[in-house]
Structure 1
């Protein structure tokens, strides 16, 4: 946790905040080895970053004095990430990586090779998604929470909502066997579609291409979703 990320409920007033949840308290004690009087990096959720003085630290709460937040968080990536819903255990790790890398718009999509049971996973509860995104933000010293949308039906999505998402964006679909290598170092607004571990089926690839997406690849190796996400975003941006 490289940032004490303060949510609205943590603030007592404009310059004081109280942390009460066990996860952050344990981290303050055991990782930071914090003590009253220490100055730590803090940030307001969806706001700025600054320094906060730890006033008290007990088994049940940490009290901070935050005189000012005067630094903006890192710039977001210019990408809307469209990700076929991964297996639940992989989803948790992927959400943390995605938040840490600076993605601010994420759509989780059902595709042919996504097991329907994945949509019933507790990892898709709003509180679980929020928890994993917060971990990613704390790692990267970012404060701006990504917006996550769930799309459980492929055909209505590509017909009704994909065209609007592509407006003003360059569309890329990452899929093994595509003729074009993934571009490097672009800075234009982009929609990036990444399939499940088994890849998109031919019908899905065709629908993305018909909508105006370019097919790209990362080489011959088949990567896990969390690895592919990291590799593609690092190469693109």
Structure 2
């Protein structure tokens, strides 16, 4: 935790917060903080700054906060992911938030097992927790927006064309002839399939909607590897 992310219910006054649970444990056990120490803090979807510890016990930490810094700029990226395996999902979500992705769509694919959609990691509480962990790692406050679409064809036909307007649209697919571009740094939509990629039918539908198929070379990567590799190729802000 490189920064403690603050939520509205943490505030007991305009410039004071009380922290408990995971953040308190980190302050006490990892940072070894004591009264008078200053910590990096940021208010969700707001500014960042410093918090001074004024009280620290086994059950709570009270800080006076000064928020006067802007968070880093978001990436101009709409990221669409075939629903990953649950054991990978939380890591991918944290990584995406750390990289500065603010618009994330979870979509279906033929190779996505139905059981993936039943994971408890998709609960609102767990989604917020994992995106929070990613933001705290990067020292960012802007919470990503996450959308879930469990039907592939209606999403691609009815919603995707509008999402792609004004963006460079790409679908990462092994075996295509065009390498993924670099240094794009402009509004981009990126689709990443499940392990082994989208089916030919799905790639065709994505291309009909306006996506260009691109590859990362002959090696087949896990999604948790492909996400940071693709995003860092596209945006200099990740270098």
- Provide the TM-score with structure 1 as the length reference: 0.98
1:182 aligns with one of 180, 192, 199: 180
**CA displacement at 1:195 relative to structure 2:** 0.3
Asked if 1:158 is matched to 2:172, the reply is no
Q: Distance in 1 between matches of 2:4 and 2:109?
A: 37
**CA displacement at 1:126 relative to structure 2:** 0.9
Give the structure 2 partner of residue 48 of structure 1. 47
Asked if 1:17 is matched to 2:17, the reply is yes
1:77 aligned counterpart, secondary structure? coil
Asked if 1:38 is matched to 2:37, the reply is yes
1:180 aligned counterpart, secondary structure? coil
**CA displacement at 1:178 relative to structure 2:** 1.1
Asked if 1:124 is matched to 2:122, the reply is yes
Asked if 1:5 is matched to 2:5, the reply is yes
**CA displacement at 1:184 relative to structure 2:** 0.5
Task: Structure 1: give runs of 5+ residues left out of the alignment.
Answer: none
**CA displacement at 1:211 relative to structure 2:** 1.1
Q: Distance in 1 between matches of 2:15 and 2:22?
A: 23
**CA displacement at 1:82 relative to structure 2:** 0.2
Give the structure 2 partner of residue 65 of structure 1. 64
Alignment of 1:103-114 (within 5 A): 103-114=101-112
How many residues are matched? Answer: 235
Q: Distance in 2 between matches of 1:222 and 1:7?
A: 40
Alignment of 1:76-225 (within 5 A): 76-225=74-223
Q: Distance in 2 between matches of 1:236 and 1:75?
A: 15
**What is the root-mean-square deviation in Å for CA atoms of aligned residues?**
0.7
- Provide the TM-score with structure 2 as the length reference: 0.97
**CA displacement at 1:169 relative to structure 2:** 0.9
**CA displacement at 1:26 relative to structure 2:** 1.1
Q: Distance in 2 between matches of 1:177 and 1:123?
A: 32
